[in-house]
Structure 1
Amino acid sequence: MRGTHHGEYKVPGGKLVVVDLVVADGVLRGVRVAGDFFLEPDEALDAINGALEGAPADTDARGLAARIEAALPAGATLLGFSGEAVGIAVRRAVAEAAEWTDFDWQIIHEGPQPPALHMALDEVLTGEVAAGRRSPTLRVWEWDRPAVIIGSFQSLRNEVDERGAERHGVTVVRRISGGGAMFVEPGNTITYSLCVPESLVQGLSFAESYAYLDDWVLTALGDMGITAWYKPLNDIATDAGKIAGAAQKRIVAGTGAVLHHVTMAYDIDAAKMVEVLRIGREKLSDKGIASAAKRVDPLRRQTGLPRAEVIERMIASFRARYGGSDGAVSDAELARARELAAGKFSSPEWLARVP
């Protein structure tokens, strides 16, 4: 069909929804919904298509879901998807969003680097993607020292016990994304960044993009025997507890790009963590150190695998799903990142910009 828009949305932990449609005179026409979901009865699919026919093209996902829910026959069962998931797929179709497999992914996994350089690399590589000079990139970090990384808008003195950090040799840095503080130690943490074009998350709200960009990790963990799910707004959890937290930063230069980075707990020194993080101590003051281990449940215990193997399996899962070739930080990118690391990300002004 001429002028057809195609949109796809993989429900986190669920099924794929595919929508093809035409936009004519500001409304949806010729809507056809498909996917690997389960739906009963069969005629419910016609009801979904009919509910979307003629809808204003600027209707948001919730509005589209309301139309669908009102049109479904009594007793209809949707498994692995929802009316809102269909609405999101429609929004992505209208926005002509890109799909993961539209890109030649670069995968970077280099040696240990200092915390400030990791902060700078995130900014530089995402900027390069926005400018169209770099392919979308998955970068797995390695740490050369213990660190606390606070969110862009967190108060330094409220989050970090500076005496505790100094006593344990923990470097404190501030990242460009929001969210909460991260306590990391070499060998105990798995951290990665996705630097992606804005087109990949077109049609998704800010909150929806978190789940969308985390979905591949749920599959990778599932392949290792862990049933994990996305927990709004920015956590990945299992029935044993939280195992990861995500944060994002949007870059508006060029064609736009999104930085989505995730820290996963492979192992954790809970006693040290609450001596360094004030907020962690306050949250756990009435429950003790044992509760800290429960709040963040390490992958080491849940997988029984060495950290290096967990990372290898994660990368293999990503490649199997989206492709990807081995990449590297270019000399020019590294030079710019080192400049930012030594300046902006090591400056007292940046670290204490929210005192």
Structure 2
Amino acid sequence: MTALADREWRLITDDAREGATQMALEEVAARTALEDDVRTARVYSWEPSTLSLGYRQEPESVDWEYCEREGIDVTRRQTGGGGIYHDRYADISYTIVAPADEVPGDLMDCYALFCEPILEAFDRMGIDADFAAAEQDAIYYPSCYLRDINPAHDVVAPASAGTDAEKISGNAQYRQRDVVIQHGSLSYDLEPDRHVGVFDTDVTPETFTDRVTSIREQAGIDRDEAVETVAESLRDWCDGTAGTWQDEELEAARDLADRKFGTDAWVRNRDVLEADGQS
């Protein structure tokens, strides 16, 4: 980590924002890393609660009526995998953004590096968490938390339970404009009705709770303490200074959300409107 810590990092403990803007800010942070030589680590929440679809996920897997009725936003990530329901209270999310030439080129090595502060945060919370020791078969493929558990990037707890351990965090990574962007979801609490309700499926909430655990269940700490622990772990990992988004970054993110992450064209078909409004 020494090489990364020798460079300029900022840690943003972010405001809660709608899903489209949260996804847009990742691309804006990639631009900042390249153009301004500033790397970003952040912790954030979703307001309103949001379903983020994996890049290639079919829109038919979503229960659109349920999402509308419950006031749940829907956006689409740049990363693959299944959809994740990000509850305003029960989910804690993070992002790490750094130039690709500063991190391992091997995907698994890069996952290991970028997940160091996440595993450290769990340790500081007193949670026995680690990468899954073995693969577990998928229960319901469209849902990230119910897909097959992958030892490369899925974190389970208690890790000492072996194949009986339950998923507590999912992480994903993509590269854009010579920048590596990793984001992940930590389960602070369980909202099983909503986690399965956002999908057009007959999977039961009990199936979800059998597969997934949470920070609250494992450690019993309050959410603010958990968020602060994740933020401190990220800060210590990259030796970052407390930072905020610049006005021009927020403006660029709003524009990108308006023509990409917040549009039906992107959410349903992965189409992007250019700046002039054309697809």
TM-score per shorter chain, which class? 0.7 to 0.9
Do the aligned residues in 2 keep the contact of 1:149 with 1:175 (CA within 8 Å)?
yes
How far did 1:142 drift? 2.2
Do the aligned residues in 1 keep the contact of 2:156 with 2:166 (CA within 8 Å)?
yes
State the one-letter code of the partner of 1:194: I
How far did 1:181 drift? 0.8
Q: Of 114, 139, 145, which residue of structure 1 is paired with 2:42?
A: 139
Matched, 1:351 2:267: yes
Matched, 1:227 2:128: yes
> Which has the larger Rg?
1
Residue aligning to 2:239: 323
1:297-339 deviation digits (Å, cap 9, x = unpaired)? 1111111111111111222223334311111111111111000
State the one-letter code of the partner of 1:149: S
1:207-261 deviation digits (Å, cap 9, x = unpaired)? 3322221022112211211111123232111134101111112013xxx211100
Count of paired positions: 247
4+ runs of 1 displaced by more than 4 Å? Answer: none
Unpaired stretches in structure 2, ≥5 consecutive residues: 133-150, 159-164, 272-279
SS at match of 1:191: strand
SS at match of 2:170: strand
SS at match of 1:211: helix
SS at match of 2:122: helix
Matched, 1:170 2:72: yes
State TM-score, norm by structure 2.
0.82
SS at match of 1:187: coil
Task: Measure the CA separation in 2 of the matches of 1:166 and 1:235.
Answer: 30
Cα RMSD over matched residues?
Answer: 1.9
Residue aligning to 2:94: 192
Do the aligned residues in 2 keep the contact of 1:189 with 1:264 (CA within 8 Å)?
yes
Q: Percent identity?
A: 30
Identify which of structures 1 and 2 has the higher relative contact order when contacts are C-alpha pairs closer than 8 Å and 6+ apart. 2
SS at match of 2:36: coil
Residue aligning to 2:107: 206
Task: Measure the CA separation in 2 of the matches of 1:210 and 1:153.
Answer: 21
State the one-letter code of the partner of 2:174: K
Task: Measure the CA separation in 2 of the matches of 1:260 and 1:321.
Answer: 15
Residue aligning to 2:23: 119
Matched, 1:307 2:223: yes
How far did 1:354 drift? 5.6
Unpaired stretches in structure 1, ≥5 consecutive residues: 1-7, 9-97
How far did 1:168 drift? 1.3
How far did 1:146 drift? 1.3
1:10-42 deviation digits (Å, cap 9, x = unpaired)? xxxxxxxxxxxxxxxxxxxxxxxxxxxxxxxxx
State the one-letter code of the partner of 1:124: V
Do the aligned residues in 2 keep the contact of 1:154 with 1:354 (CA within 8 Å)?
no
SS at match of 1:144: coil
Task: Measure the CA separation in 2 of the matches of 1:332 and 1:318.
Answer: 24
State TM-score, norm by structure 1.
0.66
